[in-house]
Structure 1
Amino acid sequence: MSRRKIPGIINVTTKETKKSIRSLNRFDVFLIILVLLLIVTPIVLNLSFRQKTEAETVKPVNLYLSPRFEELLGAEMTEKLILDFLELYPDLQIQVFNQEEIEDDREPDILIIDEGEYRALAKTGALVELSHYTNYDSGESQLAIPLASFMNLFFYNMDILSAAGFDRPPKTRDEFLAYARAVKNNAGLDGIAGAALSLSPADGQALSRDIFSWIWAAGGNFRTGDERPVINTRTIVNDVSFLGGLYRDGLTASGVFTTTGDWRLEEFAAGKIAMMIASSRAIPYLREKMGDNAFGITTIPVPDTAGSYNIDISGIYAALGANSPYPDEAWLFLVFLAEQSHLLREYFKAVPGLVSDIISDGYIKSDPFYSKAWDIFESSVIVKGFSGTPDEDEYENIFYEEIRAFFESNRTAQETVTAIQRRWDEIYVGRE
């Protein structure tokens, strides 16, 4: 299985990637070489560097964590991390940032961010370049440390599918469409949508989750590193046609272009959506809201002629704020967080956890939900979208504009893909 590093992200492990579950052929070798050549920031973070020694002194300063720490980790876990860190560095003061309690123009020194936030902050120059601290110059930006990683999965409501006449989740796209139509046409399921797409511009992961995931799952991969991105293929034209039919036939929940993935999760938890794609990060939330016997997870349905099952990886990261007056002291906390990665992965119940791990964490092995997600991960090939590329916004904005025009008009899938390719080529040629 191909596993990649996240663009601009420091790899915090030195474990070797395990051998692929498939026998190596020329294509596998090509993918391996491609990943090795094109991954951004191919660096190994040696967690022993810059550690506090007996001879090292740390000047007394006040460090601030972004409020997202308590939002993502909860107050109890955040407090535990702070106390454990202060045992190592008693001369430092560290607390969660609260603008109302701070008189000057200070901003958080240490950030914890999800995939969408990372991408937005990286674009605006709000993150500190970390190569100075890692003592490794890869020639690429090194902006964050990964704490946990996730993958997209297909979620389904067991009771709704049973009421529609099905005793298992769909495996193919044809079955998926049949299931969605059955839900729509069942009088006893009034007010319940068979499927969902959430493409609000406010959702930084909308395209990757609800559009690109269908393309990747079917074996498509429109981007291979720095080479010209190619979307105008017969396979991807069929993918776009499938998505257009899903929208035009009214099989999705309303508000496709105004809702976010978080909104759809709430609707799914409330029994208003039968099937949807969401991050593995959603599993704990849905178990809490719905229980273990109300929903299931599986692979995204694919065409009968699909190639390899491809996935993209998202994550939660730690980074330094660009306006921190104490980046050296703040870096110590990033190193500390990296050392706590196992604890944080278990807290998030993250699957795969970290893509470089060759052995699953204990919570994965002992739990049917997480072990099922791990099995899917193990049999998948990781692909790379536009995250971290210089023209990421332009490529994705073009796709968004053209796919929306396609959904809301009579334009064909081929015309849509041709338009996207033409505009992508203009960007690529202009960059050369």
Structure 2
Amino acid sequence: MNKRVDIKKIDLTLLVLALVLLAVGFLFTLLIKKVNPVQKKNTVLVFTQWWQDETEAETFSVLKTDFETLNPGVTIQLDNRPYAEILSALRSHEVSPLNSDILGLDPLWFEDLIRQDLLEELDAYNPSENPSPPAVPDQGYGKWGRHLISFTSPLFYNIELLQSAGFDRPPKSRAEILTYARSVTDKSAGQYALALALSPENPRGVYRDLFSWIWASSPAMTREGRPDFSARAITGTLAFLKQLRQEEFLLPGTFTRTDAEKREDFIQGRSAMMIASVADIHVLRERMGESAFGITAIPGESSFGGKPVLGLTGWYLGIPRSSKHKDEAWAFLSFLLEQGAFIAEKAHAVPGSRGNAIDFITGDHLYAKAYDMYTVGETVQEFTGVRRVDEFETLVREQVYALFEKDQSPEETAKHIQQRWEEL
């Protein structure tokens, strides 16, 4: 009888001991977790953009490494694609879209992407994370995208070609451009006054090589979110460009030339002038030398005496609504914004805020001049509120082809552009 009681006491003691050990083990596990929290599973963020090839080598690789060092457990996958491919994928609603977590954006895309509900609204995140205000009003799109850097597009000129023709400064009016063109153009030597790049493969060709001439005379081409080609100055610009073509001052190949080919023509002396991005200063300097070329404001319809008016393009950042890692994506987006000055330098751009000239600009006479034009002049970033703006650019290209090659009048061209866009 006593033996049976003893056995029961032993069983009870062992049970209590087991429970105590289990409780101690549980508390020890909690303590370890508190001291050494379990690491989250590695998060891969896909950053889709067309910018890698437009910056100095390794720029985004350095940024990727720096961010990953600051954020263990997060990996950035750089997805570099051509501009047109990204736009096409977004339009066709590819999965997720593009399986991206952070998107490089052109502000011209906002209207369509917002209508398709593809972008995450960023108002819920800390707005102070965006250290530099946009260079131009964002027309309400800052809610879906943050401005990173900007590029202006001045008129580049070959100093030697102008001097050989008897000119010691760039043209300051359209009348002077025609005068210079007559002296500079030498068809037998394959030398022309101006090159335009309006190839369908050149996504921003119409925006830069046609619209810049219109903006130089300050008329707006949109009204209440719709194109409006009724202004007299627009017809005057079309007449000016038609005259350049009729008198054969334009380098042949306007409608097949890309920006890269236009730049190469300028480098080789086949054209004396071109409108190009400030980013090209770096390439031209490497290929042509320090003092072979200059930049100036694009002359408007009348004699140059007012503020320069320059077209503006920019890089924006957004988060696709389909991203499964929005908080981490916002952290990387904010990091890139903080590195805006570094990115601007490596992309040879201008900063997005007036009064914020960074060192590489103030210490370089050409970039300092570009920045001066930027700060004292007006910048235009039009068509951000126009749906499917690439289709609009296509019909403009087609009508300018008819203007140049089929003897269509400037008035007819402006009228047809307006009519066709309203039909679309």
Q: TM-score if structure 1 supplies the norm length? A: 0.74
CA–CA distance in structure 2, aligned partners of residues 64 and 252 of structure 1: 43
Structure 1 residue 239, shift from structure 2 partner: 1.0
Partner residue of 1:422? 419
CA–CA distance in structure 1, aligned partners of residues 260 and 114 of structure 2: 23
Q: Over residues 87-140 of structure 1, what are the superposed CA-to-partner deviations in whole Å (9 max), with x where a residue is unaligned? A: 3211212343599xxxx9984433445678x6799499695323365378x975
CA–CA distance in structure 1, aligned partners of residues 235 and 79 of structure 2: 48
Structure 2, unpaired ranges of 5+: 1-36, 82-94, 128-138
Residue from 29, 36, 59 that aligns with 1:77: 59
Partner residue of 1:407? 404
SS at match of 2:222: coil
Would the alpha carbon gap of residues 268 and 90 (structure 1) be closer, same or farther in structure 2, given more than 3 Å must change?
same
Map 1:33-432 onto structure 2 (within 5 A): 59-66=41-48, 68=50, 70-97=52-79, 107-112=99-104, 122=113, 128-131=119-122, 133-134=124-125, 142-185=143-186, 190-224=189-223, 226=224, 229-304=227-302, 309-320=308-319, 324-351=323-350, 353-354=351-352, 356-425=353-422
Structure 1 residue 192, shift from structure 2 partner: 1.9
Structure number with higher helix proportion? 2
Are the aligned partners of 2:120 and 2:318 in contact in 1 as well (CA < 8 Å)? no
Q: Over residues 127-163 of structure 1, what are the superposed CA-to-partner deviations in whole Å (9 max), with x where a residue is unaligned? A: 5323365378x97584433221011100011111122
Are the aligned partners of 2:113 and 2:119 in contact in 1 as well (CA < 8 Å)? no
Amino acid at match of 1:223: T
CA–CA distance in structure 1, aligned partners of residues 370 and 153 of structure 2: 9
Structure showing greater radius of gyration is: 2
Structure 1 residue 213, shift from structure 2 partner: 0.5
CA–CA distance in structure 1, aligned partners of residues 293 and 206 of structure 2: 24
CA–CA distance in structure 2, aligned partners of residues 359 and 233 of structure 1: 35
Between 367-376 and 175-184, the greater mean CA deviation after superposition: 175-184
Amino acid at match of 1:246: L
Amino acid at match of 1:129: E
Count of matched residue pairs: 362
Amino acid at match of 1:284: H
Structure 1 residue 243, shift from structure 2 partner: 0.7
Between 328-337 and 207-216, the greater mean CA deviation after superposition: 328-337
RMSD: 3.3
Sequence identity, in percent? 36
SS at match of 1:317: strand
Amino acid at match of 1:298: T
CA–CA distance in structure 2, aligned partners of residues 157 and 310 of structure 1: 21
CA–CA distance in structure 2, aligned partners of residues 370 and 299 of structure 1: 13
Structure 1 residue 164, shift from structure 2 partner: 2.1
Q: Over residues 31-80 of structure 1, what are the superposed CA-to-partner deviations in whole Å (9 max), with x where a residue is unaligned? A: xxxxxxxxxxxxxxxxxxxxxxxx99865222233474542344532232
Would the alpha carbon gap of residues 305 and 96 (structure 1) be closer, same or farther in structure 2, given more than 3 Å must change?
closer
Are the aligned partners of 1:58 and 1:92 in contact in 2 as well (CA < 8 Å)? no
Between 119-128 and 145-154, the greater mean CA deviation after superposition: 119-128
Would the alpha carbon gap of residues 359 and 329 (structure 1) be closer, same or farther in structure 2, given more than 3 Å must change?
closer
CA–CA distance in structure 1, aligned partners of residues 355 and 295 of structure 2: 22
